[in-house]
Structure 1
Amino acid sequence: MSRSISDQFNKTSSNNIEFTISNNRLLFTRIRSASIILLFLYVYFFYADFVLYKGIQEDIYRIHLIAIHVIGFTTSITFLFIHKLFKDKGFPHTKWTTITINLYIFSYVMGGALASINSQQLNGNIYTYIVILIGVASLFPVRPWHFFFILMFTHIFFHIGIYHFHANEKYNLVSEQINTTGTATIAFIICLSLYSYRKRDFQTQQKIKNSEQNLLHLFNVNPYPLILTDFNSGKILLANNKALEFYGVEKEALPALDVKQFYISKEERSLIIEELKTNGQIDNYIVEQSTTDGTKKWVLVNYKLIDYMGQKCMLSGATDITDLKKIETELEMYATTDILTGVINRRKGMEILQDLIEKSTTESVQFVLLFIDINNLKTVNDRYGHPEGDSLVKTVCDIIKSRLTNADIIFRYGGDEFIITFLDKHTNYAEKVWNEIVEILQEENTKKRKPYELSVSHGLYCYDSDQSISLQEIIDHADREMYKEKALIKGWDEGSGPFSQFY
């Protein structure tokens, strides 16, 4: 416990020393500014002393005033020289810095007291002393107890001085004593308040600084890539070593980088910014990013808005999930892809079409659905075996895919059945593509590569948003059209054949 008390005492002592150095630096700067301003004012003061007051009856007043101004002028020049010496040494924390400041403050206050005492010979005003008391207390927040002793000494001296001129004027003396004592008290209160406020502000800034240093330490030792960016401009302010390694960035190049270049989709980053404006943070956001060498990575990012060094910043912590994303993609592919043909399977295909039907309730949707059946698959299976039947299915599917675009949807509906969907197309377009597929099949048949002919049947249905019909009903319509064509190919009479119950 004694060690804890000792550490706390040392910490407090260290903070006090740091505040004293900071406050002395401020006081030196302000006294320097005041000295420079006074040097210009003394030009006017000397003009008044030697020209405006020339021939005044109270010659001793003029002599005293000149002496006060000469002393003040000399003091200002001396301080400027002392300021340069201390500045060159970085304002070291020594008793001489404090002594120099207090002596200069004392010279200010004493100069005001002497000037007002001297004024008693001419006009009896005490304004100079009062103005300087308030001015010094407001501009130079020295330690209150230092200022108290300066006030006490100069105030006693001032009272003795004005007593010399008002010994026989009791009420004038009492009035001036009351006014100046009240002013001195107010000046001390001002000095105490400003000094206390400045000290509290310094301590608050130190706490903020320590917090920022702690944040910086945690930032650098974090095992995950962390980036701190200016929220408005996107400029990178900080990046830990893991982030530099993750994004392939040299530390020297960091100031010139914009975090936006790591995002493959600029629109997605804009959405992230908008959500941060609303909620202040985003957890577990999955986004695709790019490193400086163009490598694409999937990352799980946590975003948070924070204030750092007076700036509104965005802190982002990333976790590389590229491998997990690859596994997820593979699993998704296995779950949604027909293994034999490589097209999407029935579950995924029906899901896509159902989404289109639901979407049509709020916006315009149009598509043509083709229901396709491979003819004679059972015969091929029975005569040449199931491997050859699989080859038939795959060959026909490959030919169909060769005539489709990326916008077209194809999936395996059943063993020998496929469904194609042409989005935003009309029936004529679908029939044109179908005829091209049939021509390719006929060309394959002429090559006699197989001991059987490649033959398919199709039926279609054209859907738009105005229709009130379910997906299954659409498929049933196309299925019936397909069986009509199959009947023609096989020479069935309408109303006969194995599927006559559907008509």
Structure 2
Amino acid sequence: MSFLLSLLPFSFLKKFHFPSGREVNEDTMFDKTNAEMLQQRVKLVSVALVISYPIYIYIGFSLLQHAGTSQFRHTLIGIHFTSFALSSLYLFFYYFSKRKERFANYLSTIVYGYILYYVFAAALSTINSQLFTGRIDVYMMLLISTAVLCPMKLKHLCIIFIPNHLFLLYGLSRYVPDSFSLISKQINTTAAVAIALLISYILYTYRHKEYMSHLQLKESERNFFTLFKINPYPLLLTRLSDHKVLLINNKAIHFYNLASQDLDQIDGFIIYPTDEDREEILKRLQQEKYVKNYILEAREYGDSKWVMINYELLEYQSESCILAGITDITDLKAVEHELSLHASTDMLTGILN
């Protein structure tokens, strides 16, 4: 097989994308997260329906007692009773699966079955309403609501929508005698299905991209944290809003003699020489996003040291932060002073040149 693949042009193979194990794992994690979201939202919908179903049942038994045909009333009451029972059953299984983890794997399948039933119930109610009001807006509203509240893979939603819609089209052809009205209702409901599928696809794709971006951001932060800790130069990361120290590596702790202090006790202003310099540096950071090779003398912590600091404004955990990289140039300053002394003073007499 590998020999045959080697005969294919490389440019042809580049057109195909073979998902890596990491991509498959990330997709699996997203599917699990999306399934949990669907379970939660269906639970909330079920609670709302269980609370409101007694009102619908009262309307079916009392207010609509003499409205429409007996077939219309019996079908409507049957739909309400069945929906109430299934909503209650879902809530029972939902809370039961939270206690028994082995049943949690079946909850996603039950969610899809639950949504399938309610789309079927909407289609059946719409067909049944042709015996009384002839309205189709409830079916169309439920399609759009399902797409918005329960975004899922397009193939799964097609499996739910298309058979039910075909059932609706057949039922309308049986109970709508006027051909013009029939065609109008079939076109409008079909357009609602197409719009609902498009909305669900857009929302699902957006959620998928947002989830992947979130994972990439988390991975970038982990890599940043790792490189931050192992960097051979002192590094500090402070929050721009209050200058709180968020990260400091061991090199910086040793450099500033901060081993005895907790992270919350470290003063974020140690990376600035004076208040005036701090204002200048912050102003330049706002304008240029970085300040390179800023030389200053640190006197407050231990012995006097000359340092060169690079500042950079960046985003960390969705907050604006300042990364300061410190280089100890004390030895270079000593050499510079020695050279300056040799250049300005006669070494034999000690008199200025």
**TM-score between the two structures when normalised by the length of structure 2:** 0.82
Q: CA deviation at 1:142?
A: 1.0
1:86 deviates by 4.8
Partner of 1:108: 118
Larger Rg: 1
Aligned mates of 1:6, 1:197 — CA distance in 2: 21
Q: What percent identity do the matched residue pairs reach?
A: 35
- Amino acid corresponding to residue 37 of structure 2 in structure 1: L
The equivalent residue for 1:150 is 160
**How far does residue 234 in structure 1 lie from its aligned partner after superposition?**
0.8
Moved more, 171-180 or 249-258: 249-258
Could you say which residue in structure 2 is the equivalent of 1:62? 73
Task: Judge which range, 118-127 or 247-256, deviates more.
Answer: 247-256
The 1:210/1:260 distance shift into structure 2, 3 A limit, reads same
In the TM superposition, residue 66 of structure 1 has moved relative to its aligned partner by 2.5
Checking the alignment, whether the CA contact within 8 Å between 1:46 and 1:69 is kept in structure 2 is yes
1:243 maps to which residue?
Answer: 252
1:97, CA displacement in angstroms?
4.1
- One-letter amino acid of the counterpart of residue 312, structure 2: K
The one-letter amino acid of 1:56's match is A
Aligned twin of 2:30: 19
- Name the counterpart of 1:439: none
Q: Compute the displacement of 1:123 (Å).
A: 0.8
The alpha-carbon deviation at position 145 of structure 1 amounts to 0.3
When residues 237 and 175 of structure 1 are mapped into structure 2, their CA distance, relative to the original with a 3 A threshold, is: same
Residue 262 (structure 1) shift:
5.3
Q: Deviations over 1:127-183 (max 9, x none)?
A: 1111101111122111110110111221122223333323x4433333322221221
Show the 5 A alignment for 1:114-263. 114-166=124-176, 168-249=177-258, 253-261=262-270, 263=272
TM-score for both structures, normalised by structure 1? 0.60
1:467-478 correspondence to structure 2 within 5 Å: none
Instruction: Give the whole-Å Cα distance in 1 for the aligned partners of 2:122 and 2:192.
Output: 13
Equivalent residue for 2:307, pick from 299, 308, 314: 299
CA distance in 1, matches of 2:85, 2:303: 71
Q: Does 1:311 align with 2:332?
A: no
Q: Which residue of 1 aligns with 2:50?
A: 39
Q: Distance in 2 between matches of 1:320 and 1:90?
A: 56
The number of residue pairs the alignment matches comes to 340
Q: Flag the 1:327–1:87 CA change in 2: closer, same or farther, 3 A.
A: farther
Residues 267, 190 of structure 1: CA spacing in aligned structure 2 closer, same or farther, 3 A cutoff?
same
Which whole-Å CA distance do the structure 2 matches of 1:181 and 1:207 have between them? 39
Q: Secondary structure at the match of 1:233?
A: coil
Deviation, structure 1 residue 337: 7.0
Is the 8 Å Cα contact of residues 162 and 173 (structure 1) preserved in structure 2? yes
User: CA separation in 2, counterparts of 1:126 and 1:154?
Assistant: 14
**C-alpha spacing 1:144/1:7, structure 2 compared with 1 (3 Å):** closer
Q: Distance in 1 between matches of 2:100 and 2:344?
A: 75
Q: Which residue of 1 aligns with 2:287?
A: 278
- Structure 1 residue ranges without an equivalent (≥5): 348-503
The alpha-carbon distance between structure 1 residues 55 and 325, as it changes in their structure 2 partners (threshold 3 A), is same
Amino acid at match of 2:20: F
Aligned residue type for 2:192: T
1-structure distance, mates of 2:299, 2:272 = 6
Cα distance, 1:217 vs. partner? 2.0
More helix by share: 2
Counterparts in 2 of 1:295 and 1:74: CA distance versus 1, 3 Å: farther
One-letter amino acid of the structure 2 residue matched with residue 132 of structure 1: L
CA-CA distance at 1:303 after TM superposition: 1.0
Q: Is the 8 A contact 2:313 2:321 kept in 1?
A: yes
Residue type at the aligned position of 2:128:
N
2:329 pairs with 1:321: yes
2:234–2:327 contact (8 Å) kept in structure 1: yes
Is the contact made by 2:68 and 2:132 (CA closer than 8 Å) also made in structure 1?
no
SS of structure 1 residue aligned to 2:152 = coil
SS in 2 for 1:201: helix
Q: What SS is found at the alignment partner of 1:49?
A: helix
Q: Deviations over 1:386-414 (max 9, x none)?
A: xxxxxxxxxxxxxxxxxxxxxxxxxxxxx
1:249 and 1:52 map into 2 onto residues whose CA distance is: 78
SS in 1 for 2:193: helix
CA distance in structure 1 between the aligned counterparts of 2:53 and 2:17, rounded to whole angstroms:
52
Aligned AA (2:47):
I
Asked if the contact 1:306–1:312 (Cα under 8 Å) also holds between the matched residues in 2, the reply is: yes
For the 8 Å contact 1:263–1:288, the answer to whether it is kept is no
Q: Which runs of 4+ in 1 moved over 6 A?
A: 89-93, 337-342
SS in 2 for 1:121: coil
- Give the aligned partner of residue 484 of structure 1: none
Please state if 1:29 is matched with 2:8: no
d(CA) in 2 for partners of 1:282 and 1:254? 25
Structure 1 residue 14: deviation in Å? 1.0
Residue type of the alignment partner of 1:226: L
Match runs of 1:372-383 below 5 Å = none
Cα deviation, residue 31, structure 1? 2.0
From the superposition, tell whether residues 28 and 244 of structure 1 become closer, same or farther in structure 2 (CA, over 3 Å): farther
Residues 315 and 321 in structure 2, CA contact (< 8 A), matched pair in contact too: yes
TM-superposed CA distance for 1:105, in Å, is 1.7
RCO higher in 1 or 2 (8 Å CA, sep ≥ 6)?
Answer: 2
Structure-2 change in CA distance of 1:246 and 1:88 (3 Å): farther
Indicate if the aligned counterparts of 1:61 and 1:122 stay in contact, CA closer than 8 A.
Answer: yes
Match for residue 382 of structure 1?
none
Q: CA-to-partner distance for each residue in 1:41-63, whole Å, 9 max, x for gaps?
A: 33432343344324435343233
* Cα distance change, pair 289–55 in 1 and its aligned pair in 2 (3 A): farther
Q: Once superposed, what is the RMSD of the aligned Cα atoms?
A: 3.3
Paired with 1:276 and 1:158, the residues of 2 have a C-alpha distance of 63
1:76–1:253 distance in 2 versus 1, CA, 3 Å:
farther
